[in-house]
């Protein structure tokens, strides 16, 4: 499942939960929604890890390229000019790495929101279970 599809599935469940009427007591529906939310969140987290691993590789490649450019021009122009040339020569790669970092930050922030909703669902289910046990006990 792609990142965008996964995020849409998570958003759909969150929207459903947020739009429940007060006093909703469909515990089985909540448990099912929670299970789906956990599954999609696990997949989303795996996607974050895959993108993060690719970003680390891209950062390493970028640094390796900068070092090789710096080493190539170090003798001719000195360290300052060699460093500037290496930065200038790798602008596109730097931009790509920066975009990847922004994407990972956004994905992690979204997963924190999903975790907060999941925590709220867990509390809601626990309350409904207690109420159900009380009614069965009486």
What pLDDT digit, counting tens, does each position of 14-72 carry?
A: 999 999 998 888 999 999 999 999 999 999 999 999 999 999 999 999 999 988 888 88
How is the chain split into domains, by residue range?
3-137
Phi and psi angles of residue 90, each rounded to the nearest 5 degrees, phi first: -115, 25
What global pTM score does this model have? 0.80
Q: What angle do CA 16, 22, 25 make, to 5 degrees?
A: 80
Give dist(CA 1, CA 40) in Å, integer. Answer: 9
Spatial contact of 132 and 26, defined as CB atoms under 8 Å apart: no
Q: Determine the average pLDDT of the residues in 4-11.
A: 92
């Amino acid at each position: 499942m792609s990142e965008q599809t996964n995020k849409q599935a998570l958003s759909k469940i969150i929207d459903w939960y947020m739009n429940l009427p007060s006093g909703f007591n469909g515990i089985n529906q909540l448990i099912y929604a929670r299970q789906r939310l956990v599954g999609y969140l696990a997949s989303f987290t795996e996607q974050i890890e895959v993108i993060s691993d690719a970003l680390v590789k891209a950062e390493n490649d970028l640094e390796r390229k900068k070092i090789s450019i710096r080493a190539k021009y170090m003798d001719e122009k000195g360290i300052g000019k060699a460093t500037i040339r290496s930065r200038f020569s790798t602008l596109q790669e730097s931009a790509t790495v920066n975009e990847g970092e922004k994407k990972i930050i956004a994905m992690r922030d979204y997963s924190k929101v999903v975790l907060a909703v999941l925590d709220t669902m867990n509390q809601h289910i626990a309350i409904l279970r207690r109420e159900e046990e009380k009614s069965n006990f009486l």
